[in-house]
Amino acid sequence: MGIISVFTSGYTWQVTIIILLAYLISIVVSIVMHEYAHAYVAHKNGDDTAKVMGRMTLNPIAHFDIMGFLFLLLVGFGWAKPVPVDERNFRNIKKGRILVGLAGIVTNVILGIICTFLYVLFYNILDTSIYFCLFVVLLFEYMALINFMLAIFNILPIYPLDGFNLLTSFTKPGNKYVNFMYRYGSLILILLLLVGLGYGINYVINWVFEGLVWLFMLMF
């Protein structure tokens, strides 16, 4: 979801504000938790680079990336400022690289599952004709969707995403693909988003979310 679609959907101004507020809060919380997870796991593996640079924090300003945030707002896919990591400080370099690479993705998957459950719970017990109740339901729906988006998006093997960092853990340093990605990865990522990568990711996100909704609905 992007903010443009909200303004063109014909909602009342009250509902529009509720949707935008829930969406923005979901973006901020999901991204902050993703980046904090990277910094925390790096710290636990012996590297305090992120901590020293003020990135092991829940302060969203520390993780803000203007381009990634704009893409999230406009097209529903984006990123935060990568957490700085110095792998030379890891007690075990390969293990540390893998764990740090997985940290954000795993955090988003766990948060996505929890928020899907809370969405189903509040959808069944709250009256969404009341604005505050609508906000609560939408907040957990968007939180679930954005966390699944971040998990699936970041697993792509394109620099500077987590999937690329995981890939480098199992390949020889300085190979052609790695060097190519270091040089052109960010540009490739933006071009893929512009030409429709998001539609494929959206399909997977919706499939995961709707499957979990169906599963949790069996509990009510």
SS3 string of the chain? CCHHHHHCCCCCHHHHHHHHHHHHHHHHHHHHHHHHHHHHHHHHCCCCHHHHCCCCCCCHHHHCCHHHHHHHHHHCCCCCCCCCCCHHHCCCHHHHHHHHHHHHHHHHHHHHHHHHHHHHHHHHHCCCCCHHHHHHHHHHHHHHHHHHHHHHHHCCCCCCCHHHHHHHCCCCCCCHHHHHHHHHHHHHHHHHHHCCHHHHHHHHHHHHHHHHHHHHHCCC
- 89/41 Cα distance (integer angstroms): 13
Longest dimension (CA), the chain: 57
35 tagged catalytic: yes
Q: Which residues are catalytic?
A: 35
